[in-house]
Structure 1
Amino acid sequence: MKLLITRRFELAAGVVALDLRHPDGAELPGWAPGAHVDLHLREGLTRQYSLCGDPADRTTWRIAVRLRPRGRGGSRHVHDLLSANDQVEVSGPRNHFALRPAPRYLFIAGGIGITPILPMLAAAADAAWELHYAGRGAATMPFRQDLLRYGDQVTFYPDGGLDLDALAGAHAPDTLVYCCGPESLLLAAEARWPGPNLHVERFTPRDDRKVRTGFDIELTRTGRTLSVPDDRSILEVLEDNGVDVLSSCREGTCGTCETTVLAGRVDHRDSLLTPAERDAHDTMFVCVSRAAGDRLVLDL
């Protein structure tokens, strides 16, 4: 859908916020903390941004975008080409980072990774929680002033010094950990909380250097069997053969192309599924994930 940028403003050094509304004033779809939307910026350029406003406000979606001068082009497009009163194509919301019920939460954010976590804090008001928020200087940390109202529940690390080892040893086993930020922070968190209590949000693809081999896919709705060579993705093969599958990022980060797996084991290469979800082998993202054997049966 086309949404109107009603406000564009600077949140921190190198970070702009966009407020998005329906041009006709219609209500926007509901969302919960952790949700993101896709901005379709131009042909072949779609990026995912977390919603960081108030879920109760059905008139406005707010996103925040940090400029990455050496990034993949999405943030440069937003910063250089989008202004108030422009319209932009938006799809979603989707949520692969939902806040699950728990008595205690540990939130860890690095830089722009604060955006999906910010609305979680109000949603977790009845639980015990703390936020540890790191950045590269106070001026670069969006929402810093807003977070001051939470007092000592929030610890800022404007010049580094976030000690994940200390945090890992200081919390009860039933604490859920939510972490978003640069890949180095996510990998460090995954090393310290290897179990199901850790939830992370990625907006860049994992570094995938695993060997790619060919395999077959059986499509149960049509009875067709297609071969996926080592140099093509399942999504590309489906498209080549006229099978319509919704897709967006093509990097395993947005969740649009999720497909039910009826048989076979999956070589998961996405940035979305939890370890338990991967072990179930009942769903996959066909833009990046592959077969762990010689055949997969898909609900297509």
Structure 2
Amino acid sequence: MRETVTTALEGNEKTYQVQNRSVKSIISDLTSLLKGLVLVVNVLPVLTGFWLALHFTNASILEYWDVLLITMIGSTLVIAGALALNNWYEVDLDRVMERTKNRPTVTGNFSMNAVLTMGIVFTILGFALLLFTTMEAVIYTFIGWFTYVVLYTMWSKRKYTLNTMIGAISGAVTPLMGWTVIAPGYHIVPITLALIVFIWQMPHTFAIAMRRYNEYKRAGVAMLPVVHGFEVTKRQIVVYIICLLPLPFFLASLGTEFVVIATVLNIIWMITGIRGLFMKQDIKWANHMFIYSVNYLLILFILMMVVTW
């Protein structure tokens, strides 16, 4: 009798462990499929754009809490849909790259049809929700989705080093997506935010391409360091960081504290970039640049909301 009970308990425990591992595996696969960090980095400017539009129109978040909810869910779904479609289309590249070899499209944990369906459904649901906001926000969202899925993923990524600039357009519209659900987009603040995100993506993506040089080369992706080498890439990184220097001054309406902190962040990044021109440890430098770039954007956009609280 005791043996029967013990066996039953052991069986239940094993079943629980398997189910628990399955849940963790699904969450891990979804995070990998939807590129968790990329999703967060793209959704944050949407929220910031929305928040700043409230601030500059003297509107209360209590008046627009329902619009905020629809905007955040809708934009997150559209971005998630675009990322899923990117993974579906690039599965052949992901198979030969170390950093993407565990994506569910490669491991087979999610079928290709499931990922394609997920990408389409997320996209449709996201746009359906955003239709309850403004047409201008929908247009900017479509520009971002179309640029990323069609112009970047399906057309330019494998062929042209300009793929980074083309892909940067999809990120640049995210602040405008959030702003235009409240107010028209022809305002210096959302335009400057879009420029910041656009320019930021260049050194950020170039640093990634340097870190993953061998993988991109093996996959045949026309990233700048693969085609033109590290020295050209490092100079390009510095040039784009320098282009960020004047932008905080166009946001003087956010206060002196913001302009000072943003400028300090830019100067530190520029100095770090210039140091890389004289370093031989290119990959180590690229790692530093990548980490700094992620923190730079998070700090900058969170700071914008803090100073206007």
TM-score (norm 1): 0.25
**Structure in which a larger fraction of residues adopt strand:** 1
Could you say which structure has the larger radius of gyration?
Answer: 2
The answer to which structure, 1 or 2, has the higher relative contact order (CA under 8 A, 6+ apart) is 2
TM-score (norm 2): 0.25
